[in-house]
Amino acid sequence: MTELNLAAEMVSSCSLRLGRGEHETAVKGIRAICQYFGGQMVFLPKFKKEKSETAEEIRGLLADAVGDGAAETMLDVLMSQFGGVPLYIPKENRAFRDELAKEIREKYDGTKEMRGELCRIYNMSFSQIYRLYHRAIEMEHEQKQPSLFSDF
C-alpha cells in the first residue's frame, strides 16, 4: 500500500502550475503552511467565492514565503485540488524530513553551541537533530553509490 504524502502532493501540484524551475518556490510555500498549521485539521474551501479565514491566513503565509504572485497561484491550486474537505496538515519536521536533514548537515559545524542553536532553530531535541544529521549523511552516500540496477 502506498502512503499518501499530502505535503509532497501539494508541492508537486503547485510546482507544475508555477512552471519550470519553480519547485523550490513550491517547497518554500508548503513548508510555511506546515510550519504554521502543522499537526492540525484545516478546512480549505474549494472555491474562491466562499470567504474563509483559513484561506486568507494561507494566502498571507504564502505571500510572506514566496511573494504575492506565486502565493495567489499556489492558493488557487490548493483550493481547487485539495479544498472542500478537512485536511490534516503534517508537521514540517515530518513532511520535509529530507530537506531538514540537508539543512542541518550544512549548518552543523561540530560545536556544542551550534548543536544547541539547531535545537532552538528547528524546535527539536538533540536526538532528533542527531538522527536528521545522520540521515543527511546516508542520503549523500546513497547519491554517490552507483546502482547495480540503474540500467534496467
The gap between the terminal CA atoms of the chain, to the nearest Å, is 24
Q: What is the pLDDT of residue 150?
A: 63
What span, in angstroms and rounded, lies between the C-alpha atoms of 38 and 28?
14
Reply yes or no on whether the pLDDT at 146 is more than 80.
no
Q: Which of 42, 109, 130, 115 is nearest to 79 (CA)?
A: 42
Q: Compute how many other C-beta atoms are within 10 angstroms of the C-beta atom of residue 49.
A: 6
Q: What is the pTM assigned to this prediction?
A: 0.79
pLDDT of 7-50, one tens digit each? 889 999 999 898 888 888 999 999 999 999 988 999 988 887 76
What span, in angstroms and rounded, lies between the C-alpha atoms of 151 and 76?
40
Q: What is the mean pLDDT of residues 86-106?
A: 90
